[in-house]
Amino acid sequence: MRLSKQPDEVSAAAILRAFSDENRRTMLELVATKEMSAGEIAGHFTVTRQAVSQHLRVLKEAGLVEERRDGRSRLYRTRADGIAILHQYFNNLWSNSLALAKEIAEAAEVNTHGDNDQGAEGESANHEQGMPG
């Protein structure tokens, strides 16, 4: 098996579009633990088999599932490379969000300490001048 290239924005965008649909997310969950035929997958949904086939095609084109033929059956399972791109995307999003939260917290801490020191001096000066604090 060939290792995949680093994820690029185009493939990540296609994966996120495919992942955005609730039915497709459920299909991914189903085939994450075992290989399943299209018919088995369809049995879990109230939509038509044609709709299930279209969802599976979107997942396949995005690289989230792979298809294997076994006689007349098509068997589906998750594709590790595609899931890795999805994982990396959310991991980067999480890391960036944590970094931003840290910056905001540190800035708030600096402002709080800075405001308290200056605020107390400003309040004393205002009080001495007869101004409300």
pTM beyond 0.85: no
- CA dist 24 and 115 (Å) reads 51
Q: Which two tokens stand for residue 83?
A: 């899931």
CATH 1.10.10.10 fits 9-79, yes or no: yes
104 SS3 class: helix
The pLDDT tens digits of the residues spanning 54-109 come to 999 999 999 999 999 999 999 999 998 888 888 888 888 888 788 888 889 888 88
Summarize pLDDT for 14-38 with one digit per residue, the tens: 888 999 999 999 999 999 999 999 9
